[in-house]
Structure 1
Amino acid sequence: MTVRAKICGLNDPVAVAAAVRHGAAFVGFVFYPPSPRNVSPDEAAALAGGVTGGVQKVGLFVDPEDALIAAVLEKLSLDYIQLHGTESPERVREIKAKFGLPVLKAIKIDSLASLDEIARYENVADMLLFDAKEPKNKADALPGGNGLAFDWQLLAGIRIATPWMLAGGLDAGNVAEAVRISGTRIVDTSSGVEFAPGRKNPAAIEAFLKAVAAIETK
Structure 2
Amino acid sequence: MKLKICGMKHLDNILEVGALLPDYMGFIFWEKSARYFDGTIPELIKTIKKTGVFVDETVENIMSKIDKYHLQTVQLHGKESVAFCQELKAKIDGRIDINTEIIKVFSVDESFDFSVLEPYEKVCHYFLFDTKGKLPGGNGTTFNWKILENYKSEKPLFLSGGIGIEEIPMIKDLKIPIYAIDVNSKFEIEPGLKNTSLLKKFQKKLKPATLNPKQLYNEL
Per the normalisation by structure 1, the TM-score is 0.84
Distance in 2 (alpha carbons) for counterparts of 1:172 and 1:199: 17
Q: How does 1:99-138 map to 2 (within 5 A)?
A: 99-100=92-93, 101-134=100-133
Distance in 1 (alpha carbons) for counterparts of 2:56 and 2:36: 15
Distance in 1 (alpha carbons) for counterparts of 2:103 and 2:157: 9
Distance in 1 (alpha carbons) for counterparts of 2:150 and 2:115: 15
- Which of residues 201, 204, 207 is equivalent to 1:207? 201
Distance in 1 (alpha carbons) for counterparts of 2:179 and 2:49: 16
Higher RCO, Cα 8 Å, sep 6+? 1
Instruction: Determine which structure has more spread, i.e. the larger CA radius of gyration.
Output: 2
- Which of residues 26, 47, 50 is equivalent to 1:54? 47
Cα distance, 1:201 vs structure 2: 1.9
Matched with 1:20 is 18
Per the normalisation by structure 2, the TM-score is 0.84
Distance in 1 (alpha carbons) for counterparts of 2:148 and 2:16: 30
Cα distance, 1:31 vs structure 2: 0.3
Please tell me the root mean square deviation across aligned C-alpha atoms, in Å.
Answer: 2.1
Deviating more after overlay: 5-14 vs 69-78: 69-78
- Which of residues 41, 56, 64 is equivalent to 1:71? 64
1:48-89 residue CA offsets vs partner (Å, 9 max, x unmatched) = x24214111111000101332133133221111110000011
Distance in 2 (alpha carbons) for counterparts of 1:179 and 1:157: 18
Distance in 2 (alpha carbons) for counterparts of 1:144 and 1:55: 22
Q: Percent identity?
A: 29
Matched with 2:148 is 155
Distance in 2 (alpha carbons) for counterparts of 1:182 and 1:15: 34
**Unaligned stretches of 5+ in structure 2?**
94-99, 211-220
Cα distance, 1:215 vs structure 2: 9.4
Distance in 2 (alpha carbons) for counterparts of 1:109 and 1:195: 27
